Amino acid sequence: MIKSACQQISRSWWEHGRLTALSYISPYVVEEVSAGDPQAASERIRALGGIPILPITPEIPDLAEFLLLGGGLPAKARLDALHIACAAYHRMDILLTWNCTHIANPVQLPILRGLCAAKGHKLRATE
């Protein structure tokens, strides 16, 4: 039920709130929304239409690996590490996520910020 409520809030923001913010996505978002039920994936991909996609640079996978090896994230959270690294590398004003397990987590976030800072990047995400 909570997941459904989060999805509804996200849909509302995509339809209304996003219009007032300059938004970007990473190729990793496209990869993630393409997974699962083909019909649902198609709807998710369609919802992303027109949003600029940030480029991947060689530094992004390197930063993601550093986040994993530095203890910021477990090995199974590779895609989350790539999301974080892409946002930090491209100096996004905020990383918007419902992922409270690995990204918007009050315990993990200070660790992730410190690891990003050690590589010269600033992670801007809310707890």
Q: pLDDT tens digits for 60-73?
A: 999 999 999 998 89
pLDDT-derived band at 5 (thresholds 50, 70, 90) equals: low
- The predicted-structure confidence for 20-70, as pLDDT tens digits, reads as follows 568 899 999 999 999 999 999 998 888 888 889 999 999 999 999 999 999
Q: Is the dihedral of CA 25, 30, 32, 37 positive or negative?
A: positive
Q: Is residue 33 part of a domain?
A: yes
User: What domain count does the chain have?
Assistant: 1
Give the pLDDT score at 10: 65
Q: Is residue 36 part of a domain?
A: yes
Instruction: Read off the tokens for 108.
Output: 């993990």
Give the pLDDT score at 85: 97
Give the pLDDT score at 3: 61
Residue 100 has pLDDT above 90, yes or no: no
Q: Is residue 123 part of a domain?
A: no
